[in-house]
């Protein structure tokens, strides 16, 4: 990663981990748990979108699938929650692999279409398979995660639980960015033909990154299930997939810290706009359009100190 970048990340992590001291008040701490989960999702999508240049419109559903699998395995089969998380992640990433394998061979935005379709099918499944998922009214009573005597059942513990995962995800992504694989992904997105000429095997790499992205989303879903202890299909529809996309776009495609800022802003925004209940969807729409038109690098572009020579 380079010493300078590592230092920046260390400072960032310390600030995050020290936040609870500042946010003693329970409510914002609670919101920050969500910001952590959303950061994981945004970083996961960014791997696909910002690096490999592939659009997925189904990440909300992958998140949901991870959540439901964790919930079902722990409530119906009394499987250890940590184990369930790994199982859920494996299932979700395997499914994504099966989808990505044929689709990513094709030129164009077929992944967007396939993930859109897959996401909606999952959403309908969440609603219809009532014996498993509890249907539209949701699935309550999900046990919380535990390590020995420490139970992650209150905001402070959940904050650290989620943010450890989120920070590790961010670090992995930052490492990837400054590595051979990260460059290969960005090369594919900038000029796939040139990348191939130089020996980058585009298709296997795209499939790999899609699978990893799905795995992370599933982990986020499992964390969500265990910290909320209750989940319902409404949180995992197309709207949420668009929300994650907006977070990535606002923060800046390809920027890991941008994903954090995008997640933070878009998680806090509805809180601030509580008065304007349904306006949030319009704001997402406007944000997406304006940013892609005028500020395609997102926030990261604004704050960038990239060297532009004389």
Partner 1 sequence: MLKIENVSKHFGGITALDHVSLEIQEGTITGIIGPNGAGKTTLFNIITGLYPQDGGDIYLQDRKISALPPEKLVRLGIVRTFQNLELFGRMTALENVMVGLHAKSSSGLFSCAFGFPRQRKEEAFMRERAYEWLKFTGLADLALREAMSLPLGQGRLLEIARGLATEPKIILMDEPAAGLNTRETLNLAELIRKIKAMGITVVLVEHDMELIMEVCDHIGVLHLGRKLAEGSPREIQDNPAVINAYLGEQ
Partner 2 sequence: MEWIAQISQYLLSGLANGSIYGLIGFGFTIIYNATGIINFAQGEFVMLGGMLTVFLLQLFPLPLVLCIGMAIGTTLIIGILFERLAIHPLKNASPITMVIITIGASILMRGLAMILWGKDTHPLPPFSGDEALALGKATIMPQHLWILGLTVLILILNRLFFHHTIYGKAMRACSVNPRAASLAGINVKTMVLLSFAISAALGALAGIIIAPLTMTSYDVGIMLGLKGFCAAIIGGMGSGMGALLGGIILGLLESLGAGLVSAGYKDAIAFVVLLVILFLRPGGLMGKGEMERV
Name 150's bridge partners.
147
Which of partner 2, partner 1, none is residue 282 near (CB under 5 to 8 Å by kind)? partner 2
Using CB under 8 A, which of 17, 23, 91, 125 touches partner 2? 125
CB 62 within 8 A of CB 221: yes
Q: Cβ 46 to partner 1, closest distance in Å?
A: 14
Name 146's bridge partners.
151
Using CB under 8 A, which of 95, 168, 242, 265 touches partner 2? 242
Of residues 127 through 186, those in contact with partner 2 by CB under 8 A are 127-128
- Residues that bind partner 1 in the complex, under the rule CB under 8 A: 1, 172-173, 175-176, 178-184, 186-187, 190-191, 193-201, 208-209, 212, 254, 306-309
Name 151's bridge partners.
146
Residue 192 binding partner 2, by CB under 8 A = yes
- CB nearer to partner 2: give 152 or 236: 236
- Dihedrals phi, psi of 146, to nearest 5 degrees: -140, 145
**CA–CA dist 222, 224 (Å, integer):** 5
Residue 44 binding partner 2, by CB under 8 A = no
Q: Cβ 183 to partner 1, closest distance in Å?
A: 5
- DSSP, collapsed to helix, strand or coil, labels residue 274 as coil
CB 178 within 8 A of CB 1: yes
- CB nearer to partner 1: give 148 or 309: 309
Closest CA to 246 of 273, 265, 221: 265
* Region near partner 2 per CB under 8 A, out of 20-28, 39-47, 76-84, 115-123: 115-123
Which residues lie closer than 8 Å to 226 by C-beta, 6 or more apart?
A: 70, 74, 81, 142, 143, 144, 145, 152
- CB nearer to partner 2: give 76 or 109: 109
**CA–CA dist 135, 174 (Å, integer):** 38
Using CB under 8 A, which of 121, 194, 302, 303 touches partner 2? 121
**CA–CA dist 69, 73 (Å, integer):** 6
Q: Which residues are at the interface with partner 2 (CB under 8 A)?
A: 49, 53, 55, 57, 99, 102-110, 112-114, 116-118, 120-121, 124-125, 127-128, 192, 202-203, 238, 242, 245, 249, 253, 278-279, 281-282, 284-289, 292-293, 296
């Amino acid at each position: 990663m380079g010493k300078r970048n590592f230092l920046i990340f260390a400072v960032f992590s310390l600030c995050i981990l020290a936040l609870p001291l500042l946010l003693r008040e329970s409510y914002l701490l609670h919101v920050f748990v969500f910001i952590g989960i959303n950061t994981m999702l945004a970083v996961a999508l960014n791997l696909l979108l910002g690096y490999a240049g592939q659009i997925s419109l189904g990440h909300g559903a992958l998140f949901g699938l991870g959540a439901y699998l964790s919930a079902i395995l722990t409530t119906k089969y009394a499987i250890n929650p940590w184990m369930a998380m790994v199982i859920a992640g494996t299932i979700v990433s395997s499914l994504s692999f099966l989808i990505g394998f044929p689709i990513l061979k094709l030129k164009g935005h077929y992944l967007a279409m396939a993930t859109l379709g897959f996401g909606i099918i999952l959403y309908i499944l969440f609603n219809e398979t009532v014996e498993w998922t509890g249907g539209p009214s949701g699935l309550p009573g999900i046990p919380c995660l535990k390590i020995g005597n420490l139970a992650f059942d209150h905001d402070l513990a959940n904050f650290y639980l989620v943010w450890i995962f989120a920070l590790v995800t961010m670090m992995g992504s930052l490492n990837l960015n400054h590595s051979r694989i990260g460059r290969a992904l960005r090369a594919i997105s900038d000029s796939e033909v040139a990348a191939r000429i130089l020996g980058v095997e585009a298709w296997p790499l795209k499939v790999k990154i899609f699978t990893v992205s799905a795995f992370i989303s599933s982990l986020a879903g499992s964390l969500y299930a265990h910290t909320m202890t209750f989940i319902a299909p409404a949180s995992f529809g197309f709207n949420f997939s668009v929300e994650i996309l907006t977070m990535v776009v606002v923060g800046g495609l390809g920027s890991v810290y941008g994903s954090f800022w995008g997640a933070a802003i878009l998680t806090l925004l509805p809180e601030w706009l509580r008065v304007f209940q349904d306006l949030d969807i319009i704001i997402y729409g406007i944000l997406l359009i304006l940013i892609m038109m005028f500020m395609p690098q997102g926030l990261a572009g604004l704050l960038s100190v990239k060297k532009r020579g004389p």
